[in-house]
Structure 1
Amino acid sequence: MPLATATAELDIDAPDYLVRLEAGKHALVGDEGLHEGGQDRGPAPFAFVLSGLVACTAATLRMYMQKKAWPVGHIGVSADLHVDRDGSQYIRRTVRVDAQLEQAQRKRLAEICERTPVTLFIKRGTRIETKMLGE
């Protein structure tokens, strides 16, 4: 049984890259930005990847803080995808936790960030098996 599911549909009459998506039971749209020939009517594919990373990071930190009965406050996570001149890619993630925490607790949360499920998924890479169907 899969851990997660997603589907994409790009209709023949759809404007260029406007894609109807379903992530589990949630309906979304994806698109490319204007500079890529899209209409910017939804996030681009890499923005969805980064969204998954920041959502997982924030939720995992909240779960950990609650489990430890630590003070809980606002958690903000942002991520940017970068490409170096040599073509290598990296993600820069920034985490802000507005709660009365000791330095040791903040250090532990930083360690937890490096072990969230989506962080590990991205870092280790994942095999993709593709099956083509159609007429």
Structure 2
Amino acid sequence: MARAEAAIGAARYAVSIRTGNHQLVADEPQKLGGADAGPAPYDLLLASLGACTAITLKMYAERKQWPLNQAKVALHYLVENGTGRIERVLTLDGPLDDDQRARLADIAERTPVTLTLKSGLAISTSLS
């Protein structure tokens, strides 16, 4: 399954992330003391959900041979009264009928990352 490694060094909050054959940087914005050298952690979380949603919708539409030209996923993480939630808005481009659009919105509720986030996830921490 998925693996990642994150390391922080001399740069204040910049984190080097390695996952598979990919290298990226996460950081905090300047207003929080970072250098804004990369997306902040919650931005990466939203990016993961957005990527999973878009990929799943594309795969489903291809399997059904539906005319989905493009799927855009806009995400916003909000905290209200101490409770976090994510708003997700889908923009589906292509000559889809209302039933196809409704089905794709329904599929978005069951993508792998969506289900993981909705169900919660056990995290165990140990020292090496």
Q: Distance in 2 between matches of 1:78 and 1:16?
A: 30
- The amino acid across from 1:31 in the alignment is D
Matches within 5 A, 1:124-135: 124-133=119-128
Alignment of 1:25 with 2:35, yes or no, is no
Q: Distance in 2 between matches of 1:64 and 1:105?
A: 11
Alignment of 1:62 with 2:58, yes or no, is yes
**TM-score, normalised with respect to structure 2:** 0.97
Partner of 2:46: 50
Identity of aligned residues (%): 44
Partner of 1:35: 31
- The structural deviation recorded for 1:40 is 0.4
- The structural deviation recorded for 1:72 is 2.4
Equivalent residue of 2:110, what SS? coil
Equivalent residue of 2:65, what SS? coil
RMSD (Å), alpha carbons: 0.8
Partner of 2:2: 4
Equivalent residue of 1:128, what SS? coil
Q: Distance in 2 between matches of 1:119 and 1:51?
A: 12
Question: After the TM superposition, which segments of 4 or more aligned residues of structure 1 sit over 3 Å from their partners?
Answer: none
Q: Distance in 2 between matches of 1:23 and 1:56?
A: 16
Q: Distance in 2 between matches of 1:116 and 1:8?
A: 25
- How many residues end up aligned between the 2 structures? 128
